[in-house]
Structure 1
């Protein structure tokens, strides 16, 4: 099945995390090898993703669902400002020449 969800957490040292969405109650386990991006395969908590998932034969790390393909959503950009512990998401990346709102 294909769904859209939000990354709940990502354990960079271990290379896995969890995605939340309505169709996968309790979360969906995801391994870095299933993340479809260039470069280092990692996700950020709060990042919106499209993903394909399935029910494994048994629970994986306590999760009843496993992601088989994950793609970050291209319509939103997550930016971490220097010294800012919060992640802020700014709308459509296709609007060239615009900047995030001033603080």
Structure 2
């Protein structure tokens, strides 16, 4: 296997994970229904929650699969928002996924 193929495969994998992760994660307002639902769902399904411990601390919950929600923080923006996060399935991409990622990168370069 030559170096170009290896580097392309690595970039394709990173690109797939980045696109997948950004599509699944979202930022929501701290007092919104979505935030309250995510926190209560996590706790109800056996997730591990962590409370706010100070004025600039974070709080949230992590599910057993590694997904979850984290709220709060130091800056004014973070104090008012929560970030949800998902875990991509732990597997290598298929050949079709790598080919699709390579084609997308080529199209992006042409634009």
**Normalization by structure 2: what TM-score?**
0.22
Structure number having the greater strand percentage: 1
Bigger relative contact order (CA 8 A; separation at least 6)? 2
Structure number having the greater helix percentage: 2
Larger radius of gyration between Structure 1 and Structure 2: 2
